[in-house]
Structure 1
Amino acid sequence: MQALAARLKNWPSAQPLLFLPLAAVVWFLLYQALVPASEALVAALPVARDSHLGSALQFFFYDTPKVLLLLTGIVFVMGIVHTFVSPERTRALLSGRRLGSGNAMAASLGIVTPFCSCSAVPLFIGFLQAGVPLGVTFSFLISAPMVNEVALALLFGMFGWKVAALYLGLGLLVAIVAGLVIGKLRMEHHLEDWVRAMQNTATPTAAVNAEMGWGERIDNGFHHVREIVGKVWPYILAGIALGAGIHGYVPEDFMASIMGKDAPWWSVPAAVLIGVPMYTNAAGIIPIVEALMGKGAALGTVLAFMMAVIALSAPEMIILRKVLKPRLIATFAGVVAAGILLVGYLFNAVL
């Protein structure tokens, strides 16, 4: 029995060409079963389906496995992608880049790094150490939590490709422009002294192992899932539970009065201000976004709230205070907030 268990454990990496398509089929079948399974679970409970509690439970039973399936699938794929591009290679690509091309490259790299705002800070410090320009580094810090593949996958699954594509384009624009503005202000002297002292002290590291076999790459995909999904699943459950409560119990008229399409102009900045004290990542906040949308909230206002939560969180500011002086933190927050407001108003105008 132990020998069989060991063979099953090692089978994915031993037979990658068979495992990958089979895993894709299983993932697709599970995804297709989410709606009937969630409805069956609610029907098995002594709860009326059209009640507030029944609606909230169906939302929770459907969205929890949906988000976990999307997150697990995309993180596994990106774990394989990361075997081709290491953090050291990333720093090497960005160091020496000028403003403009470097900002665009850094923001694009943020898409394939599924970090929350706080976990992106150590890599931000590593970029500074490697001599990456400050404005270029900020483009990565903004993009990594806000426009990563987790956010895009979940937006695509919940709202379709048009919303995901528009969010991608505008999110990258915010990251690039904000980095350019900060770079042009030449605020390097507002880095803490210990950060400035370690700049350009990094030693070269080995390049990515291009000869790594597919079995090892699949193992890395599983490791990526354990590391990332293992850390964010509590945020997912908390976010979906809150979203379920909003979906089932919050009156539609109340939400529409604050974030609805006919809400006053100040609803977008109010949503940003509400989002800043909160802290979660894309996996935790998007179910709340979906619930708010179901209550009649305007897409741009809700996305501005979402972007503020994941790109301007209070915990991130506390961590950044160890690296940046207050004036640079205030500049960063102000520039990004202005970009988020623009995105919110633009989404509301065109959708």
Structure 2
Amino acid sequence: MYIFQWLNNQLLKMEWLHNLVTVLVRNVFRLDVNSKVGGSIHFFIYDVIKIFILLSVLIFMISYIQSFFPPERTRKILGRFSGITANILSALLGTVTPFCSCSSIPLFIGFTNAGLPIGVSFSFLISSPLVDLASVILLASIFNWKIAIAYVVVGIVLAVIGGTIISKLKLEKYVEPFVFNNKVLEVEQEELTTKDRIDFAKDQVLDIVKKVWLYVLIGVGIGAAIHNWIPESIITALLGQGKWYSVLLATFVGVPMYADIFGTLPIAEALVLKGVGLGTALSFMMGVTALSLPSMIMLKKVVKPKLLAIFAGIVTLGIIIIGYSFNAFGYLFM
């Protein structure tokens, strides 16, 4: 148990990096890490380096595994199942695809175009930006394993329920016709060598880092500001655990924004440290990642307004329920 705790602290929480940055701030910047300026610089440098190290390592590992499951093979596997089993598998597939909501939409189109039920495709679309293996590790590094696992479970449940409801409502007529009309080419997947898979994983790391680096810097910057400059009394007055509307406010504030989970985690961390309920912080994070305005605009190109409204309504309601549940029972995970 002691060895596991040590590994968790050094590999995930990166205490060695925390101590190294402390020395840097004190000896190079000549600042007290307990001051507002020193604390902000420490928070920013430590979180940015930690997130990019974990992100690069995890995306490389996930992408290497993904190289064995190209979209056509994945479609064939999912096509063997139906009903809630297919929704569960699609949601689980979303957890191993490190995409933001906008990046997930082309795959959603591909799955639907290939003949999978739209409910199954929507389960993937919900889970892919919301829950992935990299975010689990990052959540564990910031909070703990209990919270990380609980977040994954509720994210998958939301994806399965959301996709199942859409399937039951028979909403295929609200998908734009071009999604179904394109021909799917059956192409034999070329057998990749180990070098090919490593090169693919490297390319994925570079591609994803290029897409998220700015959001990570912005997110960590906001987190540092919240953590060191905004008085706790102001934050708790707006989003404190005693405020019944805190989850609603956090969810609807998050929706117009656009970032991925890696950019919102530092903000959630800072909010919780300031006394905001765990469920409120997670609702903000989920609203940003699953229902960002740019992804809704992209999705509107492939589905009609009624289906878009139903999708957004299901996900929003699910996030709100999850938020209040975590606020009520969050003490069990701390």
Scaled by the length of structure 1, the TM-score of the pair is 0.87
> 1:41 maps to which residue?
24
Retained in 1: the 8 A contact 2:12–2:138? no
What CA distance in whole angstroms lies between the structure 1 residues aligned with 2:42 and 2:185? Answer: 53
Instruction: Quote how far apart the aligned CAs of 1:105 are.
Output: 0.4
User: Counterpart in 1 of 2:120?
Assistant: 136
Instruction: Choose from 275, 281, 302 the match for 2:254.
Output: 275
Partner of 2:231: 251
Supply the distance in 2 between the matched residues of 1:202 and 1:29 (Cα, whole angstroms). 42
Measured on the aligned residues, the alpha-carbon RMSD in Å equals 1.9
Where does the alignment leave 5 or more consecutive residues of structure 2 unmatched? Answer: 1-9
Please tell me whether residue 80 in structure 1 is matched to residue 64 in structure 2. Answer: yes
The counterpart of 2:209, out of the listed 225, 229, 247, is 229
Alignment of 1:174-323 (within 5 A): 174-198=158-182, 201-207=183-189, 209=191, 212-263=192-243, 265-323=244-302
Amino acid corresponding to residue 39 of structure 1 in structure 2: T
Shift of 1:208: 6.3
Query: Distance between the aligned counterparts of 2:194 and 2:175, measured in 1?
Result: 42
Tell me what 1:115 maps to: 99
Q: Deviations over 1:234-284 (max 9, x none)?
A: 111111111111111011111112222222x22111111101001100111
Larger Rg: 1
The residue number in structure 1 matching 2:136 is: 152
- Cα shift at 1:83: 1.7
1:125 paired with 2:104, answer no
- 4+ runs deviating over 6 angstroms: none
- Cα pair 2:254 2:292 within 8 Å, conserved: yes
> Is the CA contact (8 Å cut-off) linking 1:56 and 1:248 kept in structure 2?
yes
CA contact (8 A) 1:275 1:309 kept: yes
3-state SS of 2:34 partner: coil
Q: 1:97 to 1:270 in 2, by over 3 A?
A: same
CA distance, structure 2, for counterparts of residue 193 and residue 122 of structure 1: 15
Paired with 1:341 and 1:237, the residues of 2 have a C-alpha distance of: 27
Could you tell me which runs of 5 or more consecutive residues in structure 1 were left unpaired when the two chains were aligned. 1-26
Counterparts of 1:181 and 1:30, CA distance in 2: 38
Q: Deviations over 1:43-94 (max 9, x none)?
A: 1214333221111111001101000011011001012101211122112222
Which of 297, 305, 310 is the matching residue for 1:331?
310
Change (3 A) 1:239 1:129: same
Compute the TM-score of the two structures, normalised by the length of structure 2: 0.92
User: What do the CA deviations read for 1:110-148 (whole angstroms, capped 9, x no partner)?
Assistant: 010000000100001001110010100000000000011
Residue 67 (str. 1) matches residue 47 (str. 2): no
Q: 1:149 deviation in Å? A: 1.6
- 1:36 Cα deviation (Å)? 1.6
Q: How many residues get paired?
A: 321
Deviation at 1:41, TM superposition (A): 2.1
Q: Indicate if the aligned counterparts of 1:42 and 1:54 stay in contact, CA closer than 8 A.
A: yes
Aligned match of 1:99: 83
Equivalent pair of 1:100/1:180 in contact (CA under 8 Å): yes
Partner Cα separation in structure 1 for residue 172 and residue 109 of structure 2? 13
